Amino acid sequence: MVTSAPKTGPAPFAAAKAKVLGCDRCGTCLPACPLFQVQDVERASARGKNALVRGLAEGLIPPDREAQEALEFCLLCRACTDACPGKVPTDEAMVQVRQALADTLGSTPLRSRWIGRVLRRRRLVGLGAATLAGLRVAELHRLLPPQLVPRETSRRAYLKKHAGPALLGASAPRPEPAVHPGAKVAYFQGCGMKMLFPDASRSTQRILAQLSPFQQPDHPCCGLPHLAHGQREAFLDLARENIQAFEDADLVVTDCASCSGSLKHLTSWFAEDPIWRGPAERFSAKVMDLTEYLVAAGYQPQRLPDATFTYHDPCHLARGQGIRQQPRQLLKQAGKLIELAEKERCCGGSGSFHLEHPEAAAAILQRKQANIEGTGAQVVVTACPGCLIQLTRAADQSEGAFQAMHISQVI
């Protein structure tokens, strides 16, 4: 039992194994992993999942449904990578191993396959958005489970509550954009914003319009849900469509942290593709998160002196893109910001994770809710529809202690 040379294993898992080679199983990730807090068994931790990847690659673990389920049980929140002394990219390994397992066993679970199919079709997304809008008008959306159709708080309701009607419709000052003066700005409206948070999406558009005229090309999903569930080809198809759809734009601004995160990182997926490498690189270079763009463009939010906020950092924005200061800067200009304990801890949303693992997601959210309530803030603000689904749910559970809103609704 002396240390032996690393074995090479079943080929499909080689790419994932290469990502976890730096894991020396020290355990630093254990207290960082939100799922390990919920299920304190090795399989649930980042270290455990990295070991499973090696186990698969070295033929010690059979590539079966159980392995697939274990590896689907990851939020891809990168908290482990952040804590890891060797910065092992467990989230990237999970994406790769899920792909390898999906290639072997077929995609799972059923729900994500279904979601993947819907999100691939622009018409279905549009239809979904229209249906939900109709349901909202008729107040019938309350009949559906809140995980599927979160109860969105409208900006109108927010202003009514916190500032009074006098401020409704007041326009923010219009500074000259500091970035790319005269740049052609395009809005990337992610599926989550379009279908689940139309009021927040309208707020984003209103803000963008205050700064400069912007385009809104017809475009499909960013493809992250597909990538996360082993549907690489679908992801690549969608990426190519998006690259083309935004060819004319100089800046692609999105108000979804997951969309901006995945769109900014298209380059690596096309690194070996002589045709798409260049366009992917150019496209990724022009993607900006809404808050990143607003701060760079010198946007001045309306100040509502009575409003108190706390801010939840979306994993894909803070750890994924290093965007932490911009949302805070905007919020401090708009009202009083009270920092949240464990502000960067995942809320448990993570794409469709909350649908597939409702109990684990609820347990993670419980801690988030307690932290939010601890601030005493009236509004918890975030910058990702995935998080907003969860936070809206926490707001419901808090029975009015706080509201949950997208940042574009409060600035």
Partner 1 sequence: MTSLTTLEPLVLDGFREAVGREHVIESPLEVFGYSYDASFLALDRSTVPQAVVRPRTTQEISRVMAFAHQQRIPVTPRGAASGRTGGSVPLEGGIVLALDRMTSILELDTANMMVSAEPGVRTADLHDHCARQGLFFPPDPGSWKFSTLGGNVAENAGGMRAVKYGVTRDYVMGLEVVLADGSILETGGKAVKNVTGYDLTSLFVGSEGTLGIVSKALFRLRPLPKARGVIRVIFRTMDEACSAVQEMLLDGVTPSAAEIMDATCLEAVARARNTRVEPGAGACLILEIDGDGASSLEAQSLRIDTITRQAGCITFRSAASKEETEAIWAERRGLSSAVAAMAPNRLGEDISVPRSAFPEVVRRINAIASTTKLRIPVFGHAGDGNLHPSVLCDLGNPDEAARAHQAVDGIFKAALDLGGTLSGEHGIGISKRPYFADAVGPVSLATHRAIKGALDPLGLLNPGKIW
Binding interface with partner 1 (CB under 8 A)? 1-7, 21-22, 24-28, 30-31, 40-43, 45, 48, 51-52, 54-55, 58, 60-61, 66-67, 70, 84-87
- Whole-number minimum distance, CB 41 to partner 1, in Å? 6
Residue placing its CB nearer to partner 1 in the complex, 7 or 174: 7
Closest distance to partner 1 from the beta carbon of 4 (Å): 4
Show the tokens assigned to 319.
């750890």
Instruction: Output 78 or 155, the one with its CB closest to partner 1.
Output: 78
Residue count of the chain: 411
Minimal distance in Å, beta carbon 157 to partner 1?
Answer: 42
Residue whose pair of structure tokens reads 């692609």 in the numeric block: 252
Label residue 174 left, alpha or beta by phi (over 0 means left) and psi (-120 to 50 means alpha): beta
**With respect to partner 1, which residue has the nearer C-beta, 51 or 207?**
51
Least Å distance, CB 276 to partner 1, is 32
Nearest approach in angstroms of CB 180 to partner 1 is 29
d(CA 123, CA 190): 14
Minimal distance in Å, beta carbon 388 to partner 1?
Answer: 31
**Cβ distance to partner 1 smaller for residue 55 or 327:** 55
Residue whose CB is less far from partner 1, 48 or 89: 48
Q: Tell me: cis bond preceding 109? Omega within 30 of 0 counts.
A: yes
Using the minimum distance from each CB to partner 1, give the nearer residue, 69 or 396.
Answer: 69
How near is the Cβ of 36 to partner 1 at its closest, in Å? 10
* CB contact at 8 A, 381 and 410: yes
My answer on whether omega of the bond before 145 falls inside 30° of 0, hence cis, is no
CA distances, 173 to each of 179, 209, 286, 298, 299 (Å) = 17, 12, 25, 10, 8
CB contact set of 52 (below 8 Å; sequence gap of 6+): 43, 61, 67, 70, 71, 97
What minimum distance in Å lies between the beta carbon of 67 and partner 1? 6
Which of 64, 101, 286 lies closest to 186, judged by CA?
286
Q: In angstroms, rounded to a whole number, what is the distance separating the alpha carbons of residues 360 and 27?
A: 21
Of residues 32 and 395, the one with the C-beta less far from partner 1: 32
Edge-first strand listing for the sheet containing 308-311: 336-337, 308-311, 379-382, 403-406
If the CB atoms of residues 24 and 176 are measured against partner 1, the closer one turns out to be 24
Q: Which residues pair with 185 in a beta bridge?
A: 214, 251
Shorter beta-carbon distance to partner 1: residue 29 or 227: 29
Phi-psi region of 377 (alpha: psi -120 to 50; beta: other; left: phi over 0): beta
Residue 302 is encoded by which pair of tokens?
């309306």
Helix (H) or strand (E) holding 330: helix 325-334
DSSP 38-59: HS-SGGGSHHHHHHHHHHHHTT
CB of 87 to partner 1, least distance (A): 8
Q: State how far the Cα of 309 lies from the Cα of 395, in Å rounded to an integer.
A: 13
CB of 1 to partner 1, least distance (A): 6
Cβ-based nearer residue to partner 1, 84 or 304: 84
